[in-house]
Amino acid sequence: MTKSSHAEGPSARQEIESGIVFFRGRLMDIRDATVSIATHALNYGTGCFEGIRAYWNAEDGELYILKGHAHYERFLRSAKILKIQVPYTVSELMDWTRAVLAANAFRQDVYIRPLAFKGAAAIKVALSGMRDEVGILATPMGDYVATDGLKATVSNWVRIADNMIPSRAKVTGAYINAALASDDAAMDGYDEAIMLSEDGQVAEASSSNLFMVRDGTLVTSPVTADILEGVTRQAVFQLARDLGWPLVERPIDRTELYVADEVFLAGTGVQIAGVTEIDHRTIGSGKMGPITAKLQEVYFQAVRGRDARYREWLTPVYGKEGHE
């Protein structure tokens, strides 16, 4: 894997201080894209979002949006669950995203954040009858976590159940669940937290889906395990099929992780990241396994437009034609 395969750029912790964004139906400076302290979503977490990556290919002179249509389809589903009216189609959202990226003239790897939220300056705890807002911002970003050798722990914080807060929607307020788990893991010296569902089965990591490998078969939790229905998760399904590897969706016990041959995370932020230790137990050989390594290799070539088999995943920003 070449140095330029993973995402290159600043940390996700870096504050975003400048740039052109889409807000209230037009492009504007991010410093003008402000809301009231009384905004409903700020007070009650009544919003939803997406995380989309775009990868720069210097040889092509092109910035490729990865699976943008799939992300915006999920974005609209999340908005529907929260009774947020988004007055744009998937194609229009993609057009505005390309406009934001072009206006910023990015020539590097970028993270894109669409956001829809209850913008009313109102105190009433409700969803219906509240004014809605939509925005899109983008910022340079490198790897969200290291892509190999992660040390994880099974969190004491339980993954939110779908009957509490919709787990298949990217609800802004729900991410306090992930933040609590992730922060506790970091304070205890781990790189990531793995969360169990209410029934004690493995759900996912704090902000990504989880896969394990046992006896050559990829295994991941089903969508009924209170997971986010990940876009990258679906990409792994496709890669596994193309590579001829068996994959099953089924419940996973906590202790199965300890005896797995390989464990890896998959998500837009984490990309594909190998886990080599869980709760002080070595996974496999203690190094990223061969299946995870191969998936990484193919994935990182695909997202930069270097594998023609997956060009439909990509939408070029500066080219004339869109894909996917």
CB atoms within 10 A of CB 180: 16
Which among 170, 287, 294, 320 is annotated as catalytic? Answer: 170
Query: Length of the chain in residues, anyone?
Result: 324
CA distances from 9 to 14, 68, 111, 249 (A): 10, 20, 10, 34
Task: Pick the closest to residue 226 from 165, 148, 145, 278 (CA basis).
Answer: 165
Q: Where do the DSSP E strands lie in 121-280?
A: 132-140, 150-154, 192-196, 202-205, 209-214, 217-220, 247-249, 262-267, 271-278
Find tokens 């793995």 and name the residue.
Answer: 194
Measure the CA–CA gap between 13 and 22, rounded to whole angstroms.
22
Give the single-character DSSP code of 136.
E
Half-sphere exposure of 310 (CA within 13 A, CB side): 21
Task: Pick the closest to residue 265 from 251, 250, 276 (CA basis).
Answer: 276
CA distances from 157 to 197, 199, 270, 309 (A): 9, 13, 20, 40
Measure the CA–CA gap between 324 and 313, rounded to whole angstroms.
5
For 226, phi and psi rounded to 5 degrees? 60, 35
Find tokens 């050989």 and name the residue.
Answer: 285
Q: Is 67 a catalytic residue?
A: no
Residues belonging to the active site: 170
